[in-house]
Amino acid sequence: MERYWKPSTTAASIIENEGRFLLVEEHTRDGLRLNQPAGHLDPGESLEAAAVRETLEETAHHVEPIALVGVYMSRYRSDSSGVDVTYVRFAFACRLIGFDAERPLDRGIVRALWLTADEIRARQAEHRSPLVMRTLDDYLAGRRFPLDLLYTHPSCIVSHV
């Protein structure tokens, strides 16, 4: 019997404010790690909506995607746990809209923090994946693609009314 394989789709946000970038410090199987606000695409949402939702849940910051920075693929393997997952990450450059100081952060998130690119680069051993630095480097290099590069058919969107 052939096993069906599919990658996990995630959306990540790159948010810059006064030369600093919003990251999260989170508990993972491998200990405390740094990541851009990111998470899995949920059923019934667009990729852009996933980036907005994950950023709010993980950092209490409201953002608006303004460009696609890139699409990335990476594999996570753990010999100790047997986990073997391939991720496809859509990374968005986002504009900061606001902050909800009263909003609790997602389970597993220790804190949201603002770091410079040099500070992020100096802490690469703490990155959740190699895509943290790659997406930031692409953003810093000016990679921006229009959001209309992505199309979500209305049949994919579930109204939460």
Domains and their CATH numbers in the chain: 8-156 (3.90.79.10)
Output the pLDDT for position 81.
73
Q: Under a CB-based contact definition with an 8 Å cutoff, are residues 36 and 23 in contact?
A: yes
Could you tell me which residue, 159 or 114, shows the higher pLDDT? 114
pTM (two decimals) = 0.92
Output the pLDDT for position 4.
77
CA gap 27, 131 in Å, rounded: 17
User: Does the pLDDT at position 73 exceed 60?
Assistant: yes
Local confidence band at 108 (pLDDT 50, 70, 90 cut-offs): very high
